[in-house]
């Protein structure tokens, strides 16, 4: 094709042919799909909320404090300071419990701090030219005394990238991957009631695990887990249905239990199988004894009989409810969605789902979206999957790492087949743990059909590589006897030693010319393309402009190792022995700006752009992949003022039999549909209406239309949904475009638009231009080739969301969206950070009132006890005195202005001294508070509390001690 002469969709071209600006604007919904506006009709209902699978988990996403940059504590400079600094609970600097984070920024999770960074030429190209760096998060957490005795965990579903986590001044986790969950057993560290807990996390996002944008921070969900002392461990239910020889279904259930209590426990595990209507259709029980601080398994089988099958078209889900009963009462419960389906990879005939051949029409995905970076909210993930479903896509490869758990829940529900991929090619224990975690977490999902242990590893053709894969595959098979293992290879397939010999399914990344030869040489080895295509398109551009880093979306350009969308699918489609393919990629992502670099900051590979706006490839794949509905797409748009009379290649993709192209009612000829390669007409441009009529049996079965737009006169806002959940979590993308006087989408507008919103908040903006350096946070964004996107998060509660968009010279757009009263997922309440003095030195008992200056000599860590406030001293037979000492640095405001020190409860009479000055006295011996003003001063401030305890009564610092502003 010779298109180089063609067309630049430059800014403001439409302005040349303004018509009838006085006419009333058409209602947006009416115009959808009829004027080249590429987004679907807004849905009128809320999506189903994601399942709560584990009622013991509560989101821990509010009330975090964030500091960008490292906080390096001074090194201890004396022997004693060193001695103390390495003790449990005594972490220094920002990891210390008493650290002043009062001026840190309040943030909520999921949070990707890199998404707010500017693009810098000096930053890493693969990471999208965004500096990532180091940052800290802290959160204060209060636990109900009723939770004492429970098993308590913290879960972070993903932290980019290297993280060290402290709880109450003790290191509780080092985590070295941004793609696995971190589960922390908080039980031994937990403090209850008035005593607060402090979580501190240092995140080093300079570390790279990928060659794509990986974001930075706590970018997936975070949870507080509270369970009975004898309960199912995290990811501890395995209940993947199996079909017996007799054709009947069974669900083998294994529950792994743990006991954090003080006594061995005998429990019963009960499992119920609920059908899609929630009716119990099978149940079973098994007993287990769980020794103290150990684990035990309970196994049973549910006889599911002839269950409705799970498939891509009908993703029917059942639920396994697994309960732990202690003395007959339920103490723990998990709900696990399951699907009844069989899977099989056949060396000659590809993939079979429920014994039917299903070609994998897949895409590779990174977790990343315009505006939000890697912190993609669940509702946006759901929306992205809907876009893929609308394209006929039935398979997803999670590249090159474990996805977030919610993606798989959605894939189960929506009927996607998933290749679940591990990040690190390494069988050493630290990394094997990550692989084991992945399999344990994901092995119940009907959507998951394949485990991938690596992507493109240079050691794939070596003896060591083979040994590594053997071990990793064995681990996967030990944990999951039902799914095959693959590895995404990019070469070495014919080397005498190579990993294809030790995987169940051969995964080809590219190398399409080798499909046949490999198949001949390995006739019993099933094959799939694990990755292919790597074609380049700029959305809305129909001419490549190398100097401007713009790439035509006529599906002409691809990486040297890849192929166009059409050439690639042709090779996969015609070979039954190739199970299917995974296009690189479904959506654009930040980073990897191949084939360019600076100033390009995002990829060109997507079938949809970074905002999820479709490129021409979207229509091409619809034609390739959709069988049950006639489709037709037409490119380019038809607004080319100044090009009158020039030839424009018109590209049509359809799955019908024939296509008739019409320009302004005039037939331009019928062509037999080439479903793979598409059809093309050379059309002398004339403004008006170009339509492609797709036909079967002589009947029009689908049409695609573009009309020449006039000058833009107004902005338009089109939501994905007309309703949002008022649960404080719901998010949706809103499309911004400009329309002409007749309400038609103008595909050439590149103007800056400004947004205001009430009843919701803008969490990101984008436009799909890989060359744009406009910030992705804020309230303004240029349209790019006619489109921009803002992503809004609804405020909590019932109400109305009002959005408006303005741009110079255009009539503003206004949009209202209803916010429905919806129950919010439970969140752990926010505990405002307060300075507490928790750690004290306590003198031995003394018969006489001591000098308030008395203190153990520096370095004597033995003569005086280390005690925590809230811990009474055992009653003594005779009255006596004790001194409590602590040193603290007041938080900044108190240091500057002075403040108040408050002892919630002191047992005994007391004198309070600060820096050698007496501040207050407590006259009554009965337990009660003591409050005093403290003068300004940054410290360290030295407190001494002299307590005179009466005989036979608890004494000392019985409650919390806080230092606050006045
Ligand atoms: C592949 C690789 C992907 C991506 C792609 C770009 O080799 O697996 O992660 O880099 O190339 O074409």
Give pLDDT tens digits for 907-923.
999 999 999 999 999 99
> Which of 179, 208, 400, 456 best tests ligand 1's pocket when mutated (most atoms within 8 Å of CB)?
456
Q: What is the DSSP letter of 82?
A: H
Per the model's pLDDT, the better-predicted residue between 47 and 373 turns out to be 373
Structure letter (DSSP) for residue 955:
B
DSSP 215-276: --EE-S-EEEEEE-SEEEEEEEEE---EE-TTS-EEEEEEEEEEE-SSS-EEEEEEEEEE-T
What confidence tier does 25 reach under pLDDT thresholds 50, 70, 90? very low
**428 Cβ contact partners less than 8 Å away, ≥ 6 residues apart:** none
Say yes or no to pLDDT of 30 above 70.
no
**Residue 367: its pLDDT value, please?**
98
For residues 826 and 547, give the distance between their C-alpha atoms in angstroms, rounded to a whole number.
52
Ligand 1 centroid to 519 CA: how many Å? 23
- At residue 27, the pLDDT reads 32
Residue 833 has pLDDT above 90, yes or no: no
* Range(s) within the chain of domains with CATH label 2.60.40.10: 1-32+628-638+640-708, 242-338, 714-821
CB atoms under 10 Å from CB of 482, counted, come to 13
- What is the second-level CATH architecture of the domain 242-338? Sandwich (2.60)
Which one, of 425, 574, 540, 415, lies nearest residue 485 by Cα? 425
* CA 563/CA 249 separation, integer angstroms: 43
Mean pLDDT over 271-286 rounds to 98
- Per-residue pLDDT at 11: 28
Q: What is the DSSP string of 263-332?
A: S-EEEEEEEEEE-TTS-EEEEEEEEEEE-TT-EEEEEEEEEEESPPPB-SS-B--EEEEEEEEETTEEEE
Task: Give the distance (Å) from ligand 1 centre to CA of residue 291.
Answer: 49
Q: What is the DSSP string of 717-769?
A: EEESBSEEE-BS--EEEEEEEEEETTS-B-TT---EEEEEEESEEEEEEE---
Helices (H), 415-514: 429-442, 463-479
Place of tokens 């929630």: 278
Looking at 318-433, which runs of residues are DSSP E strands? 318-326, 329-338, 343-346, 350-353, 356-357, 360-365, 395-398, 417-421
- Residues paired with 658 in a beta bridge: 672, 695
- Please choose from 421, 588, 592, 595 the residue to mutate so as to test ligand 1's pocket, defined by most ligand atoms within 8 A of CB: 592
How many Å apart are CA 176 and CA 162, to the nearest integer?
5
Atom of ligand 1 nearest to the CA of 603: 6
- For residue 562, the model assigns a pLDDT of 98
Q: Which atom of ligand 1 is nearest to the CA of 510?
A: 7
Among 214, 457, 531, 537, the one annotated catalytic: 531
Distance 560 CA to ligand 1 centre (A): 12
Residue nearest to atom 12 of ligand 1 (CA): 534
- Region of poorest pLDDT, from 661-675, 796-810, 866-880: 866-880
CA-399 nearest atom, ligand 1: 9
- State the virtual CA torsion across 604, 609, 614, 617 in degrees, nearest 10: 20
- Report the alpha-carbon distance of residue 455 to residue 491 in Å, rounded: 11
619, 608 Cβ separation under 8 angstroms: no
- 680 is annotated as an active-site residue: no
Distance 491 CA to ligand 1 centre (A): 13
Catalytic residue selected from 68, 297, 386, 456: 456
Sheet holding 647-654, edge to edge: 632-635, 647-654, 679-684
How far apart (Å, rounded) are the C-alpha atoms in residues 241 and 239? 6
Atom of ligand 1 nearest to the CA of 592: 10
Contact 773, 796 (CB under 8 A): no
- Residue 838 CA to residue 104 CA, distance in Å, equals 22
Helix (H, G, I), strand (E, B) or coil at 352: strand
Question: What is the SS3 assignment for 80?
Answer: helix
Residue 375 DSSP one-character state:
-
Q: Given CA atoms 90, 93, 96, 98 in this order, what sign does their dihedral have? A: positive
pLDDT surpassing 80 at residue 20: no
The residue with tokens 């070609």 is: 359
Q: With 80 as the cut, is the pLDDT of residue 134 above it?
A: yes
Nearest CA, atom 11, ligand 1: 534
Q: Tell me which residues have their CB closer than 6 angstroms to ligand 1.
A: 211, 399-400, 455-456, 490, 509, 531, 534, 559, 562, 584, 592, 594
Query: pLDDT per residue over 772-791, tens digit each?
Result: 999 999 999 999 999 999 99
Helix (H, G, I), strand (E, B) or coil at 671: strand
Does the pLDDT value for residue 24 go beyond 50?
A: no
Q: How far is the CA of 567 from the centre of ligand 1 (A)?
A: 18
What count of residues does the chain have?
Answer: 966
CATH architecture under which domain 835-965 falls: Sandwich (2.60)
Q: Tell me the CA distances in angstroms from 854 to 588, 680, 903, one per residue in order.
A: 67, 94, 21
Instruction: Give the tens place of pLDDT for each residue, 872-909.
Output: 888 888 889 999 999 999 999 999 999 999 999 999 99
Residue 209 Cα to ligand 1 middle (Å): 14
Q: Where in the sequence of the chain do the CATH 2.60.120.260 domains occur?
A: 57-230, 835-965
The pLDDT score that the predictor gives to residue 4 is: 32
- Whole-number Å distance, alpha carbon 398 to ligand 1 midpoint, is 13
Atom of ligand 1 nearest to the CA of 488: 8
Q: Whose CA is nearest to atom 3 of ligand 1?
A: 584
pLDDT > 90 fraction of the chain, expressed in percent and rounded: 92
Residue 47 is predicted with a pLDDT of 84
Confidence class of residue 34 from pLDDT cuts 50, 70 and 90?
low
**pLDDT tens string 726-764:** 999 999 999 999 999 999 999 999 999 999 999 999 999
C-alpha of residue 400 to centroid of ligand 1, in Å = 10
Predicted confidence (pLDDT) at residue 14 exceeds the cutoff of 70: no
Kindly indicate the confidence band of residue 871, based on its pLDDT and cuts at 50, 70 and 90: confident
CATH number of the domain at 714-821, please? Answer: 2.60.40.10
pLDDT over 60 (residue 28): no
Pocket test for ligand 1, best of 584, 586, 593, 594 (most atoms within 8 A of CB): 584
Q: Which atom of ligand 1 is nearest to the CA of 561?
A: 12
Catalytic, 758? Answer no
C-alpha of residue 509 to centroid of ligand 1, in Å: 8
Residue to mutate, 534, 597, 603, ligand 1, most ligand atoms under 8 Å from C-beta: 534
Going 829 to 834 to 835 to 838, the CA torsion angle's sign is negative
Architecture of domain 344-607: Alpha-Beta Barrel (3.20)
Beta-bridge partners for 632: 654
pLDDT of 199 strictly over 80: yes
Q: Which residues pair with 775 in a beta bridge?
A: none
| 118 neighbors 775 (Cβ within 8 angstroms) | yes
**Confidence check: pLDDT of 114 > 90:** yes
Structure tokens at 150: 């429970």
Residue 592 three-state SS = coil
**CB neighbours of residue 761 within 10 Å:** 13
16 has a pLDDT exceeding 80: no
Average per-residue pLDDT for the chain: 94
Judged by DSSP in three states, 450 sits in strand
> With pLDDT > 70 as the criterion, what percentage of the chain qualifies?
96
Q: What share of the chain is helix, strand, coil (3-state, %, to 5)?
A: 15, 40, 45
Reading the block at residue 466, the tokens are 């083979």
CA gap 659, 633 in Å, rounded: 11
Ligand 1 atom closest to Cα of 490? 7
Q: Can you name the CATH fold of 57-230? A: Jelly Rolls (2.60.120)
CATH T-level topology, domain 1-32+628-638+640-708: Immunoglobulin-like (2.60.40)
Grouping H, G, I as helix, E, B as strand and the rest as coil, residue 630 is: coil
Cα gap 146→150, rounded to integer Å: 9
Q: What pLDDT is stored for residue 49 in this prediction?
A: 79
The DSSP annotation for 170-204 comes to EEEEEE--SSS-EEEE-GGG---TTS-EEEEEEEE
Give the pLDDT confidence of 470-491 residue by residue, as tens digits.
Answer: 999 999 999 999 999 999 999 9
35-88 per-position pLDDT tens digit: 789 999 999 999 887 766 788 999 999 999 999 999 999 999 999 999 999 999
> pLDDT at residue 3 above 60?
no
Q: What tokens appear for 388 in the block?
A: 């893929």
Q: What is the pLDDT of residue 527?
A: 98
Record the tokens describing residue 541, joined without a space.
């551009």
Averaged pLDDT, 710-719: 98
């Amino acid at each position: 094709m010779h298109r180089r002469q063609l067309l630049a969709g430059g800014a403001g071209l439409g302005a040349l042919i303004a018509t009838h600006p006085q006419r009333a604007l058409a209602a947006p919904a009416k115009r959808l799909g009829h004027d080249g506006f590429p987004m679907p009709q807004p849905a009128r209902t809320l999506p189903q909320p994601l399942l709560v699978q584990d009622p013991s988990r509560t989101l821990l996403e509010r009330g975090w404090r964030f500091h960008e940059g490292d906080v390096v504590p001074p090194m201890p400079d004396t022997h004693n300071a060193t001695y103390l600094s390495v003790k449990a609970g005594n972490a220094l600097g920002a990891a210390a419990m008493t650290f002043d984070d009062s001026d840190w920024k309040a943030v909520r999770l999921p949070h990707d701090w890199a998404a707010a960074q500017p693009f810098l030429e000096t930053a890493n190209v693969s990471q999208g030219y965004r500096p990532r760096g180091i940052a800290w998060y802290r959160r204060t957490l209060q636990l109900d005394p009723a939770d004492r005795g429970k098993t308590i965990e913290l879960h972070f579903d993903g932290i980019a990238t290297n993280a060290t986590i402290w709880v109450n001044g003790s290191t509780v986790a080092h985590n070295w991957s941004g793609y696995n969950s971190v589960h922390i057993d908080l039980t031994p560290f937990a403090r209850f009631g008035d005593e607060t807990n402090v979580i501190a996390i240092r995140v080093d996002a300079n570390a790279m695990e990928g060659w794509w944008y990986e974001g930075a921070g706590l970018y997936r969900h975070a949870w507080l887990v509270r369970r009975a002392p004898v309960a199912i461990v995290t990811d501890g239910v395995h209940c993947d249905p199996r079909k017996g020889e007799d054709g009947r279904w069974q669900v083998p259930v294994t529950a792994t239990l743990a006991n954090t209590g003080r006594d061995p426990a005998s429990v019963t595990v009960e499992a119920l199988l609920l059908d899609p209507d929630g009716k119990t259709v099978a149940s079973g029980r098994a007993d287990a004894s769980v020794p103290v601080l150990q684990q035990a398994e309970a196994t049973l089988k549910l006889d599911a009989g002839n269950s409705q099958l799970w498939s891509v078209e009908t993703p029917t889900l059942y639920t396994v409810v697994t309960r732990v009963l202690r003395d007959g009462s339920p103490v723990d419960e998990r709900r696990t969605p399951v699907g009844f389906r069989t899977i099989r990879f056949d060396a000659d005939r590809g993939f079979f789902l429920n014994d039917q051949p299903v070609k994998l029409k897949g895409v590779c995905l990174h977790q990343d979206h315009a505006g939000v970076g890697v912190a993609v909210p669940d509702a946006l993930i759901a929306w992205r999957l809907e876009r893929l479903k609308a394209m006929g896509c039935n398979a997803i490869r999670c590249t090159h790492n474990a996805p977030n758990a919610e993606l798989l829940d959605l894939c189960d529900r929506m009927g996607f087949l998933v290749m679940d991929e591990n990040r690190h090619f390494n069988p050493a224990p630290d990394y094997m743990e990550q692989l084991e975690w992945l399999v344990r977490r994901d092995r119940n999902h009907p959507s998951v059909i394949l485990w991938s242990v690596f992507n493109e590893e240079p050691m794939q053709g070596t003896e060591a590589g083979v040994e590594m894969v053997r071990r990793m595959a064995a681990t996967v098979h030990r944990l999951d006897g039902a799914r095959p293992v693959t590895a995404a290879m990019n070469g070495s397939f014919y080397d005498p030693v190579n990993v294809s010999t030790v995987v169940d399914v051969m995964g080809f990344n590219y190398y399409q010319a080798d499909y046949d030869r490999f198949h001949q040489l390995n006739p019993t080895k099933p094959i799939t393309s694990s990755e292919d295509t790597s074609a380049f398109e700029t959305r809305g551009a129909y001419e490549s402009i190398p100097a401007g880093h713009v790439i035509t979306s006529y599906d002409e350009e691809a990486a040297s190792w890849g192929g166009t969308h059409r050439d690639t699918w042709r090779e996969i489609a015609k070979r039954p022995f190739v199970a299917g393919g995974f296009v690189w990629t479904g959506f654009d992502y930040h980073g990897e700006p191949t084939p360019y670099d600076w100033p390009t900051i995002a990829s060109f590979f997507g079938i949809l752009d970074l905002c999820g706006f479709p490129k021409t490839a979207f229509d091409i794949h619809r034609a390739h992949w959709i069988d049950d509905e006639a489709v037709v797409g037409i490119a380019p748009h038809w607004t080319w003022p100044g090009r009158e009379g020039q030839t424009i290649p018109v590209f049509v993709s359809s799955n019908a039999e024939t296509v008739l192209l019409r320009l302004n009612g005039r037939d331009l000829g019928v062509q037999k549909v080439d479903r793979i390669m598409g059809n093309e007409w050379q059309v002398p441009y004339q403004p008006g209406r170009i339509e492609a009529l797709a036909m079967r049996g002589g009947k029009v079965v689908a049409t695609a239309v573009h009309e020449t737009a006039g000058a833009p006169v107004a902005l338009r806002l089109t939501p994905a949904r007309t309703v949002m959940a008022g649960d404080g979590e719901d998010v949706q993308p809103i499309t911004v475009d400009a329309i002409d006087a007749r309400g038609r989408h103008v595909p050439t507008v590149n103007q800056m638009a400004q947004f205001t919103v009430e009843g919701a908040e803008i969490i990101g903006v984008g436009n799909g231009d890989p060359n744009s350096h406009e910030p992705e946070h804020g309230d303004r964004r240029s349209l790019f080739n006619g489109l921009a996107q803002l992503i809004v998060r609804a405020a909590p509660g019932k109400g109305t969301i009002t959005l408006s968009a303005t741009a110079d010279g255009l009539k503003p757009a206004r949009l209202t969206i209803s916010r429905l009263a919806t129950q919010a997922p439970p969140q752990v309440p926010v505990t405002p950070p307060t300075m507490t003095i928790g750690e004290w030195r306590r003198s031995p008992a003394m018969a006489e009132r001591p000098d308030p200056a008395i203190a153990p000599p520096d370095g004597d860590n033995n003569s005086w006890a280390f005690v925590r406030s809230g811990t009474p001293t055992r009653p003594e037979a005779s009255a006596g005195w004790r001194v409590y000492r602590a040193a603290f640095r007041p938080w900044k405001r108190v240091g500057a202005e002075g403040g108040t020190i408050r002892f919630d409860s002191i047992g005994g009479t007391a004198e309070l001294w600060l820096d050698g000055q007496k501040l207050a006295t407590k006259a009554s011996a009965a337990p009660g508070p003591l409050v005093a003003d403290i003068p300004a001063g940054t410290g360290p401030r030295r407190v001494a509390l002299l307590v005179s305890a009466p005989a036979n009564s608890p004494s000392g610092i019985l409650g919390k001690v806080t230092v606050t502003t006045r």
